[in-house]
Each structure stands twice: as structure tokens, then as C-alpha cells.
């Protein structure tokens, strides 16, 4: 695309990988990637539902999300409502707080990341329009986070979630 001056106009990129948020709870920077709706740049007053997609054990937010974004784009062409998709790096946290409070991932997620996303992107800041989804470890996290925070999330989807590692350690 060229503008009237003959210079290239920047192309809108839907996927933004390896963004950072400073966490005072975890005392470190936490990575996330975000996939914005196709209309995000053009419809500047529109707000969108948001889905937080949790990766599995041994993966991270920086993996190749193409297989997921390709499915999202295909579903959008079939009528799926446009949404913002956030892919936080959960490391090996299972998206919960550690029993000894040494790594309180869920606290960081609900107290820092969700408010940060709502403040910096055009989300609909309402639990009815905020969801979690995940696979394996992320599937457990999706249920655990949503069920323990019904004031923030109205739905959760687990793809082959690892639902319990037993005893009091399970967030479910």
C-alpha cells in the first residue's frame, strides 16, 4: 500500500509476539503475545471480547501460534465474532499459585495482566465478555482461573486438560 506521497503505509499486523508486562507480584517481567481482530485498526471506537489462551507444559507464549491463528481466521470467515486473543507465558505454573506462595501466577494474572490488557487494548471490561481456554496444563489453568474468578470470567474451554495433580496442590 502506498499513500499519496509514494511512501509505503505500514501494514496492520494482527499478531504481536513477546510483549512484556512488569509484574510486582512475580518480581519479573512476564511475556505475552496478542492476536488482534482484523477490524481493530479501522474501527477505533469498537471494543472486543477477550479470550486468554493458556499453553501446555513445556510450551510458552513465543511458540508458533500460527496453527491457532489460522483456525481463528477461518472461523471468523464463517461468522465467529471478532475477539482479542491473549497468549500469556505461564511457564510451568499450571496457572495457579504455588502452595508456599513462592510463585503466585494466578494472582499476577488476575491482579496485573487482565487489568493491564483491559487498560491498554479495547476490550469489553466485563466478565460476560472475558473467557479462558487452554490445552493440557493450560486446560487445567483455564478451568482453575475461571472457576476461582467468576467476577472476571464467564466461560472456560479445556482442550485435553490435565485436571489434577492430586491432593491440595490442585487448583480445581
- CB-based burial label for 168 (10 Å; 0-12, 13-18, 19+): exposed
Contact 121, 37 (CB under 8 A): no
Q: Where are the alpha helices (DSSP H) in the chain?
A: 66-77, 105-108, 114-120, 137-148
Residues whose CB is less than 8 angstroms from the CB of residue 148 and which lie 6 or more positions away in sequence, other chains included:
106, 171
pLDDT digits (tens, 9 = 90+) for 110-164: 999 999 999 999 999 999 999 999 888 888 899 999 999 999 999 999 887 766 5
pLDDT digits (tens, 9 = 90+) for 72-122: 888 889 888 999 999 999 888 888 899 898 899 999 999 999 999 999 999
Indicate the pTM of the whole model.
0.85
Amino acid at each position: 500500500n502506498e499513500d499519496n506521497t509514494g511512501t509505503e503505509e505500514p501494514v496492520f499486523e494482527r499478531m504481536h509476539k513477546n510483549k512484556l508486562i512488569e509484574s510486582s507480584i512475580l518480581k519479573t517481567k512476564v511475556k505475552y503475545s496478542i492476536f488482534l481482530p482484523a477490524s481493530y485498526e479501522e474501527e477505533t471506537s469498537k471494543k472486543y471480547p477477550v479470550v486468554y489462551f493458556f499453553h501446555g507444559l513445556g510450551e510458552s507464549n513465543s511458540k508458533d501460534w500460527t496453527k491457532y491463528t489460522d483456525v481463528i481466521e477461518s472461523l471468523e470467515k464463517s461468522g465467529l465474532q471478532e475477539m482479542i486473543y491473549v497468549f500469556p507465558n505461564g511457564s510451568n505454573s499450571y496457572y495457579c499459585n504455588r502452595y508456599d506462595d513462592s510463585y503466585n501466577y494466578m494472582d499476577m494474572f488476575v491482579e496485573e495482566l487482565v487489568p493491564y490488557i483491559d487498560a491498554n487494548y479495547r476490550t469489553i471490561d466485563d466478565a460476560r465478555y472475558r473467557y479462558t481456554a487452554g490445552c493440557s496444563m493450560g486446560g487445567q489453568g483455564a478451568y482453575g482461573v475461571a472457576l476461582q474468578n467468576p467476577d472476571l470470567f464467564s466461560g472456560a474451554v479445556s482442550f485435553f486438560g490435565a485436571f489434577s495433580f492430586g491432593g491440595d496442590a490442585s487448583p480445581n
